[in-house]
Amino acid sequence: MLCSPWPSSITEARPIRSESRALLVASIARGRRWLNELMTDPQSNTETIAGRERCSVRKINKTISLAFLAPDLVKAAIDGRLRYGLGVARLCDLPAEWSRQRQMLGLPFELARSPR
């Protein structure tokens, strides 16, 4: 699990729920796919994606923002090492700069590796 400024030890940090983790990982993948579409297809834009996916442009933009998460945050999400509360809603509003993401989440500069 990742360090939190609140608990006194890593073992006290409650992990993200498995349903939230699955949604987050799927949303990161969707955001990356949509970003790739925007970069490679000159006819594509957030409005056309929103129409196809039957959701708002705002949701498209928020999901695409997950494509800019720091690699260690993505790995922690995949490995199930994010703490409770660090789901899609919390992570989609982060700045693109990786060090600022960690700072805003109260995480160490580089996330600790999972124990093996």
Give DSSP secondary structure letters for 71-106: HHHHHHHHHT-SBTT-SHHHHTT--SSHHHHHHHHT
Distance CA 85, CA 88 (A): 9
Based on the structure, what is the number of domains in the chain?
Answer: 1
List Cα–Cα distances, 66 to 32, 35, 60, 93, 106, in angstroms: 8, 10, 10, 8, 18
Q: Say whether pLDDT at 7 is over 50.
A: no
Q: Is residue 110 part of a domain?
A: no
Domain range enclosing 71: 10-105
Does any domain span residue 88? Answer: yes
Residue-level pLDDT at 110: 62
Q: Is residue 16 part of a domain?
A: yes
Residue 8's pLDDT band (boundaries 50, 70, 90)?
very low
Query: To the nearest whole percent, how much of the chain has pLDDT over 90?
Result: 71
Q: Is residue 63 part of a domain?
A: yes
- In the predicted structure, residue 27 carries a pLDDT above the cut 60: yes
- Whole-number pLDDT of residue 1: 44
Q: Work out the angle at residue 78's Cα, subtended by the Cα atoms of residues 32 and 60, and round it to the nearest 5 degrees.
A: 30
**How far, in Å, CA of 72 to CA of 76, rounded?**
6
78-89 pLDDT tens trace: 999 898 989 999
- pLDDT surpassing 70 at residue 35: yes
- The whole-chain average pLDDT of the chain stands at 86
105 has pLDDT over 80: yes
pLDDT confidence of residue 9 = 39
Asked if residue 48 belongs to a domain, the reply is: yes
Q: Is the pTM of this model over 0.85?
A: no
Asked whether residue 112 is domain-assigned, the answer is: no
**Size of the chain in residues:** 116
Provide CB contacts within 8 A for 67, sequence distance 6+: 28, 31, 32, 34, 35
Is residue 49 in a domain? yes
Residue 19: Cβ within 10 Å count: 9
